[in-house]
Structure 1
Amino acid sequence: MCGRYALTATPKEISEFFDLADLDDFPARYNIAPTQPILVVMSSERREPGSNLPERRAFLARWGFIPGWVKDPKEFPLLINARSETAIGKASFRAAMRHRRILIPATGFYEWRRPPKETGVRPQAYWVRPKRGGVIAFAGLMETWSSADGSEVDTAAIMTTRANAAIHPIHERMPVVIKPEDFDRWLDCKTREPREVADLMQPVQEDFFEALPVSDLVNKVSNMGPDLQKPVAVSPPEEELPKKAKPDSSQMSLF
């Protein structure tokens, strides 16, 4: 899955990467968490010949997808990810897959390697970033949810796929990355059905990302500085083996 990510590129870098109109200034975000507002990119109306209007627009959406048919979000699970293998046919995402595919700008994401509980080893956080650096685009889905009082909120989810060989030792899932040359295809919901973009929902090539072990500062949403991405030393693999049983003693234990 993808439960935390970062967007530390400048507005100018993001505008150029996604071919957007100039964005308003905003700070780098090192620890984006579910339910927070996130930047998303959607296809706009096609521009007329000679027009300077962009074909894509960027806006904020709540990270946590709410299908349009949900009556009370408090009674509905928080959907921060959508599995690419099942999104086309799943009731929660079917309409968005057909009509509201989006791109989610990022500069990397965080993932946790979670050893078996019996090892006694704590989960290890990793900062996963593109080796070349810069901005990347996660595949996403959007839905505008309307409440009974008429208020509306744009909501979004990040699409995930099976992890490639490089990420699999950390986690079995990873975000779907859409390459710039495929932006138009992914965002074109008018002429391209979901099955026609299914080939884009695959793991990125194995040498695309690098994973750096980082401290557990990222676990806390209130930590938001660049120190979250500072690499740390990790325990040797031998320490993740099950602990040896203690020698038997003559004293009885209630446990």
Structure 2
Amino acid sequence: MCGRYALTATPEDILEFLSVIDIDDFPKRYNIAPTQPILLIVAGESPMPGSNVPARKAVLARWGFIPGWVKDPADFPLLINARAETAIGKASFRAAMRHRRVLVPASGFYEWHRPAKEEGGKAQAYWIRPRKGGIIAFAGLMETWSSADGSEVDTAAILTTHANAAIAPIHGRMPVVIQPEDFETWLDCKTQEPKAIEHLLKPVQPDFFEAIPVSDRVNKVANMGPDLQEPAEHAAPLPQPQSKKAKNGDQLSLF
């Protein structure tokens, strides 16, 4: 899953990386948590100057997806993630997969390795960032929920997929990363049906991210400084995947 992430890039960097037409200034955020406002990139209506590609816009939404048919959010679970393997068919996400796909800019995300009960010990937090640095874009979905009194709130979820070989020892799920060359396809909800973009919903290559053990200060939402991403001094070594032979003499599998 993806339950915490960070966005520490400047507005200028986001403008350049995501070809957004405009963006308001905002502070660096080192510990973005569910129910907080998050930055989304959506396809605009008019094309960018000198191009046929629709201009992209930056909007804010609540991290916690609420389908349009929900009557009372208090009686509905908090949906911060959507499983990429099933989102197309799920009632909660079906409409958004067809009409409201978005990009979620990030600098990286946090994940926790929780040892088995018999092993003992506490969960170890990891700051997982691209090895080459810079900004990445998670696949996201957006929905505008309307209350009975007519008020509206934009909500969002991050799509996840099964973890690649590098992240699997920490957690079984990871966010879907959309590569820059696929931004237009992912955001194009007018001509690209959900089935046509399924190939984008896959784990990123194993060497894309690096995982850095950090202190448990990130566990508390109130902690928001850059020290959250500093390497922990006495962290347990990263667990190694358990290899096993596949059936029919196939190559070894990590899963």
TM-score in terms of structure 2 length: 0.90
Q: 1:148/1:50 Cα in 2 relative to 1: closer, same or farther (>3 Å)?
A: same
User: What is aligned with 2:230?
Assistant: 230
Say whether residues 1:214 and 2:217 are aligned partners: no
In the aligned structure 1, how far is the partner of 2:108 from the partner of 2:212? Answer: 11
User: What is aligned with 1:30?
Assistant: 30
- Residue 236 of structure 1 deviates from its aligned partner by 5.2
Q: 1:53/1:95 Cα in 2 relative to 1: closer, same or farther (>3 Å)?
A: closer
Q: 1:124/1:49 Cα in 2 relative to 1: closer, same or farther (>3 Å)?
A: closer
- Residue 234 of structure 1 deviates from its aligned partner by 1.4
The answer on whether the counterparts of 1:131 and 1:209 sit within 8 Å (CA) in structure 2 is: yes
Q: Secondary structure at the match of 2:14?
A: helix
User: What is aligned with 2:245?
Assistant: none
- Residue 121 of structure 1 deviates from its aligned partner by 0.8
- Residue 22 of structure 1 deviates from its aligned partner by 3.4
Q: Secondary structure at the match of 1:195?
A: helix
User: What is aligned with 2:193?
Assistant: 193
User: What is aligned with 2:251?
Assistant: none
- Residue 235 of structure 1 deviates from its aligned partner by 2.7
In the aligned structure 2, how far is the partner of 1:86 from the partner of 1:147? Answer: 27
Question: AA paired with 1:125?
Answer: A
User: What is aligned with 1:89?
Assistant: 89
Bigger Rg, structure 1 or 2: 1
1:36-87 alpha-carbon deviations (Å, 9 max, x no partner): 0000001111327758996110010000000000000000000000000000
The answer on whether the counterparts of 1:2 and 1:81 sit within 8 Å (CA) in structure 2 is: yes
For the aligned residue pairs, the C-alpha RMSD in angstroms reads: 1.7
Q: 1:149/1:120 Cα in 2 relative to 1: closer, same or farther (>3 Å)?
A: same
In the aligned structure 1, how far is the partner of 2:14 from the partner of 2:200? Answer: 21
1:92-117 alpha-carbon deviations (Å, 9 max, x no partner): 00000000000000000000000012
User: What is aligned with 1:2?
Assistant: 2
Q: Secondary structure at the match of 2:128?
A: strand
In the aligned structure 2, how far is the partner of 1:50 from the partner of 1:17? Answer: 18
1:217-242 alpha-carbon deviations (Å, 9 max, x no partner): 0000000000000001313589xxxx
What count of residue pairs does the alignment treat as equivalent? 238
In the aligned structure 1, how far is the partner of 2:171 from the partner of 2:70? Answer: 31
Q: 1:74/1:47 Cα in 2 relative to 1: closer, same or farther (>3 Å)?
A: same
Q: Secondary structure at the match of 1:30?
A: strand
